[in-house]
Chains A and B, each alone.
Chain A
Amino acid sequence: MASASDVDDLLPLPTATFHILMALADGERHGYAIIRDVADRTGGRVRLSAGTLYRTIQRLLEQGLIVEVAERPAPELDDERRRYYRLLPFGREVAEAETLRLSQLVRLARARGLAPGRS
C-alpha cells in the first residue's frame, strides 16, 4: 500500500498519462490498443502519438504505476508479438486520486456558476 504522499507527489496527472491509465483500467492492452481506446473514448479528439505514448509508458513503469506483462500476439494489429501493459494497484490508486481531484475541482467550479449551459 502506497502512502498518501506518494500518490499526491504525482498529482495532477498530465492529460496523456490520465488517459493511458484509464485505457488500462479495464484490462491489459498493448500500445496501439491504448491509442485506439483513447481515440474512441474521446470521439477522436485525443490522438496520442507513439512517442508520447511510450515516453509516458516508460515513466509509468519507472514510477510503478503499471507493469509490462509477457509479450503475446496482437490479433487486432498485425498478429506480431506485442508488449502488453497492466495497471498496478498503485496506478489505480493514483488514477482514482486524480479522478477525485478533478471532480472536486468541477464541483467548486459549478458552485461558482461556471457550469456550461447555465447563466
Chain B
Amino acid sequence: MRLYRALLRLYPRSFRHEYGVEMAAIFAARRREAGSIPARLAVWISALVEIAGNAARVHADLLRQDAVQVARLFARAPGFVLTAVAIVGLGIGATTAAFSVTDYVLFRPLPFPDAGQLVRLWESRPGYGHMELSPANMRDWMARQSSFTAMDVYTSTAANVTGTGDPRRVSGALTGVTLFDVLGVSPARGRGFIAADGVLEAPPVVILSYAFWQTRYGGAEVIGRVIRLDDVPHEIVGVMPASFAFPSRQTEFWLPLRLSPEAFQDRNDNFLVGVARLRDDVTIDRARDDLGRVTAQLEAEHPAENRQAGANVERLRDGFSDETRNLVIALIGAAACLLVITCVNLVNLLLARVMARRTELVVRAAMGAGRERLVRQLTTETVALAAVGGLVGLGVASAAVPLFSSLVPVSLPFATPPHLDWRVLAFAAALTLATGLATGILPLLGPRQADFTILREGGRGGGGARERVRAGLVTVSLVSSVVLLVGGGLLLRAIWAVQSIDPGFRTDGVLTMRTALPVPKYADTERRIRWITDVVDGIRAIPGVRNAAYTSFLPMVMGGGIWPVVMDGDEVARQQGQVASLRFVTPGYFDTLGIPLLQGRDVSARDTLDQPAVAVVSRAFAERYWPGEPALGRRFTFAFTEREVVGVVGDIRVRGFEEPSEPQVYLSAAQQPGDSLSFYMPKDLAVRVEAGGDTVIPAVRRVIAQADADQPISDVRWMSDVVAGETASRVVQFRVIAAFAGVALLLAGVGIHGLLAYVVSQRHREIGVRMALGAQRSEILAMVMRRAAWLAVAGVGAGVIIGYGAGRSLESVLAGVPANDPATYLTAALVVALVALAGALVPALRATRVDPVRAMRAE
C-alpha cells in the first residue's frame, strides 16, 4: 500500500488530496478480491499502467483550465501583457544573442572527431608566446616528442586566382600532407594529400574549400580540372567538406607544403604552426613537459639560434586571445545583468497584479483552491507570458547576433559565423522556462501564509512585507544598472585612451590596397621594380594624388615580420625589443604615410641590387643600438645582408595601439634579391590623396589593370578605417553594453516609479491625515523622495562595489585605464541616482496633491 500511495504522488497535489484516500481504498479492495498471487500481480501491473496514464491526463486537465484562465487574463489586461512581453523579450533576446557568441567562442566543440585531443604548437621566446616554428625545429620536435599520436604543420598563404572572371586574391594554407589526418577530416570529393604531393618536384595540386568550389564552379565536377594560382596551373585533386574551415573561416584552398633541403638550414626562419593530436593517456601538461624537454635539448644543440626557445602547447579550442575571452565574458555578464533586471521588473509587475487581483484570489481560495493550485495558475500565467516574450526575444536575438559577430575571432575553425541554431534555441527555451517559473514562484514566496489571511480579510497591513520585497527588487535593478554603467563607462574611457594614441603615421587621406605579385611571374627583381615603378608613377599622375608608394606590409595590416639583428657579427638574442620588423619600401613611402624623416635620406630609386645595401631605421632602433651616437653610416646585418644606415625616421605602431611594436627597419624594395624573402615582397600600396579623394579609386584601378590585367586588387581601404578597425571590437562591445545599460536604467526607473506609486496609493489615507494635521506639501514630497533616495543610495552603494569587481575583471581590455577610475564611478552613480529620483518624481508629486478630506472620507 505504501508503494501505491507513493505512486499517487504522480498526480497533482490538489487531486491527490481530494481523491487519494478513496483511490487507495479501491486499490486495497481490488487487491483483496484478487486472491491468488498472479491475479494480485495483474492488479499491480494494471494499477501502474493506469496511474501513469491518468496522472498525465489529470495534469493536462489542470493545464487546460489554467490555459483558459491565461487566455482570459491576456484578453482582460492587454497593457500588462504587452509590457511584460516586451520586458521579457528584451531580456531573453539580449541574453540569447550573448550566449550564441559565448557558446561559439568558448564552448561549442570544434567540428573535428575527438576535437578535445587536438592541440596547436608554437615556439615561445621571452616576450613572444606564439612564434611559428622553423622547418628544422619542426622536424626535430616531430621526431623527438612522445606525447602525440600524430603531428603536422601548416602556414597561411594567399594566391591570385586568374582565368575566368575578375582576378581575385584568395586566402589559403600550405599544409603538411598528413594534416587532414591529424585533424581527422577527409575530403568530401576527390582525395586528400598523399606523401607524393609533398615532394619538391611533384606536379602542383590543390584542394578547394567547399565554399570556393560552390562559388567558383557552382558545384560542378572539378576533380582533375586545372586552376591557375599565382599564374601556375594546379590540378584540383579534392574538395573539403562544407564544415571544414581550417585554419580559419577565410581559408579557401590548401596546397601541400613542400620544403627544400635549404629550408632546413636556417632555424630562425619561423613560419610553421604545429597541430597535433594528444595520445589518450597524455595530459596537456605532460605534453608541455615533453616538448619542454625537446626544446631544452635543441637549445643545447643549437645555442645561438635556439636561445631561450621553448614550446607552447595550446588546445586548438583555445585558439584566441585572452582579450577575446574577456570581451565575451563581459558580454554575457552584461546580458545576465539585463536578464536579472527584466526578471525583477516582471516580478514587480506581477506583484502589483497579485495585489490588484486579490479579490479573485480570495474568492478562489475561499472556494477551496489550495495554495498549490494558485501557485500553479500563476506559474502557468508567467510561463505563458515568458513563452510569448521568448518568441519576441528570438526576434531580438536574430537581429542582434550579426551585430555581435564582429566580436568573434575568425581564427576559430568554424565554417559559419555565430547564428541561431538548435543549441542557441534550446538555451533560449530553457531560459524562457526558467524565467517563467522563477517569476511565477517568486512573488508567492516569503510571507505567503500570512498574506493569504490578509487577502481574505482584505486588510491594509499586508503592504509592509510586500513593499520590502519590491523595494529589494528595485534595489537589485539599480545595482545592475550601476554595474552596467560602470562597465560601459570604463570601456568608453578605454576607447578614448586608445584613440588618443598617436600611431606615428597619418591616417586620414591615405588610401590603401593590396596587389600581391605572383611568383614566378614577378620573381625577377628588375621586372618587379619596373612594374611597381610604372604603377606608382601612373598613380602619382592622377589629379588629386599627392604621393604613392609600396611596402611589404602596411602598419596594423600586418604586425609580424620580425628579424633578429646581427651587430658586429654577433646575433642579438631574439627577445622583445631586440628584434626589429622588416619592411621593403619604395621611395616616397615615408612622405606618403607622413612618417617624419629625422636624419639622412629616404631610400631612393638608385638603391638597387648592384649598389651597397642601405637601410632606414626608426628612432627606437637607432637609440637601442647606438644610444647618444649618430646612427647614420652605421652598419648592421639584417635579413642575411650587411646594411648601412642612410636615414632615421619616426617610430610607428606596427602592431596596433595596444601591443608594443618592435623597432622598424626599412629596406629598399629594389634591393630585394629575386624571390628570396618573397613573404616580404612589396604588396601593400599606399596613396595619399587630397581632400575628398574617393574619386581616385577607379583611376588607381585603371592604372593597375593597364600594368597587368591579371593582377587582382584586394583590401581597398582607407588607412583611417584600418586604424579604426583596431578599436572596432571595443566599439561594438561598448555599444552593446551601453544599450544594455540604457535598457537597465529605463527599467530601473520604471521599477522605482511603480514601487513608489504603489506606496503612495497604499498610504493615501496616512498622507491625507498628515496633511489634515498641517503637514506641508513640501514635507510630503520630501517623505516620498526620501524613500527613493534611500533606494538609490543602497543601489548605488552596492552597484559601485560590484561594478569595481566587474571593472577589475575587464582590466586587461581597458588599455591602461584603471579599473577604479573615479570619474566613471561618479558619473555612473550620478546617472543612476538621477534616474531613481526622476522615477520617483511623478508619484511624489501625486502624493502632494492628495486631498485630505477625500482621502479620509474614502475609508
Question: A: which residues have CB within 8 A of B?
Answer: 30-32, 35, 49-55, 57-59, 77-78, 80, 82-83
Contact = CB atoms under 8 A, between A and B. Distances in A.
A51 B23 contact: yes
Nearest to A61: B18
Given A54-B19, A58-B18, A32 B54 contact: no
Contacts of A51: 11, 23, 50-51, 53-55, 58
Contacts of A54: 15, 18-19, 22-23
Interface in B1-57: 11, 15, 18-19, 22-23, 25-29, 46-47, 50-51, 53-55, 57
Contacts of B47: 49-50
Contacts of B46: 49
Nearest to A76: B29
B61 interface: yes
A36 to B, nearest CB: 9
B103 to A, nearest CB: 43
Nearest to B51: A51
9 contacts: A49-B46, A50-B26, A50-B50, A51-B55, A55-B54, A58-B19, A58-B61, A78-B25, A78-B28
Q: Most chain-A Cβ atoms within 10 A of its Cβ — which of B11, B18, B19, B53?
A: B19
B800 to A, nearest CB: 55
- From DSSP, what is the main secondary structure of chain B's interface residues? helix
Given A54-B15, A58-B58, 5 more contacts: A49-B50, A50-B23, A55-B54, A58-B18, A59-B61
Nearest to A81: B21
A45 B46 CA distance: 15
A77 B50 contact: no
A57 B54 CA distance: 13
B19 A52 contact: no
Contact of A35 (B19, B26, B57, B58): B26
A32 B50 contact: no
B21 to A, nearest CB: 8
A48 to B, nearest CB: 9
B29 A58 contact: no
Interface of B: 11, 15, 18-19, 22-23, 25-29, 46-47, 50-51, 53-55, 57-58, 61
Contacts of A83: 22
B22 A58 contact: no
B54 A52 contact: yes
Nearest to B54: A51
A18 B23 CA distance: 20
B50 to A, nearest CB: 4
A35 B50 CA distance: 15
A62 B135 CA distance: 83
A58 B568 CA distance: 100
A32 B18 contact: no
A78 B28 CA distance: 10
Contacts of B27: 50
Contact of B25 (A32, A49, A57): A32
Contacts of A58: 15, 18-19, 58, 61
A50 B7 CA distance: 13
A86 B719 CA distance: 89
B372 to A, nearest CB: 15
Contacts of B55: 51
Given A54-B19, A55-B61, A58-B19, A80 B50 contact: no
B51 A32 contact: no
A80 B23 CA distance: 13
Given A51-B23, A58-B15, A78 B29 contact: yes
Contacts of A80: 25
Given A32-B26, A78-B29, A49 B15 contact: no
B226 to A, nearest CB: 74
A82 B24 CA distance: 12
B15 A82 contact: no
Contacts of A57: 19
B734 to A, nearest CB: 57
A47 B28 CA distance: 16
A49 B8 CA distance: 13
A53 B47 CA distance: 13
A86 B54 CA distance: 23
Nearest to B20: A54
- Which A-B residue pairs are the 10 nearest by beta carbons? A51-B54, A49-B50, A54-B19, A50-B23, A50-B26, A32-B26, A51-B50, A31-B22, A55-B58, A55-B54
A52 B47 CA distance: 11
A51 B26 CA distance: 10
Nearest to B32: A78
Contact of A52 (B28, B29, B50): B50
B463 to A, nearest CB: 35
Nearest to A52: B54
A49 B23 CA distance: 9
Contacts of B29: 32, 77-78
Contacts of A35: 26
A82 B18 contact: no
A55 to B, nearest CB: 5
B263 to A, nearest CB: 79
Contacts of B61: 55, 58-59
A32, A51, A78: residue with the most chain B Cβ atoms closer than 10 Å: A51
B65 to A, nearest CB: 8
A56 to B, nearest CB: 10
A58 B18 CA distance: 9
A31 B429 CA distance: 42
B54 A82 contact: no
B18, B22, B29, B50: most-surrounded residue (chain A CB, <10 A): B22
A60 to B, nearest CB: 12
Nearest to B21: A80
A80 B28 CA distance: 13
A11 B15 CA distance: 25
A82 B25 contact: yes
A30 B23 CA distance: 11
A51 B46 CA distance: 11
A30 B11 CA distance: 21
A83 B51 CA distance: 21
Nearest to A77: B29
Contacts of B22: 30-32, 50, 54, 82-83
B25 A77 contact: yes
A32 B21 CA distance: 12
Nearest to B60: A55
A30 B47 CA distance: 20
A58 B368 CA distance: 14
B364 to A, nearest CB: 13
A55 B22 CA distance: 12
A98 to B, nearest CB: 20
B652 to A, nearest CB: 80
A55 B55 CA distance: 9
B19 to A, nearest CB: 4
Contacts of A77: 25, 29
A47 B29 CA distance: 14
Nearest to B27: A50
A41 to B, nearest CB: 18
Of B25, B26, B27, B55, chain A has the most CB atoms within 10 Å of the CB of B26
A31 B18 CA distance: 13
Contact of A55 (B25, B26, B28, B57): B57
B69 to A, nearest CB: 13
A102 B23 CA distance: 31
A116 B50 CA distance: 33
Nearest to A83: B22
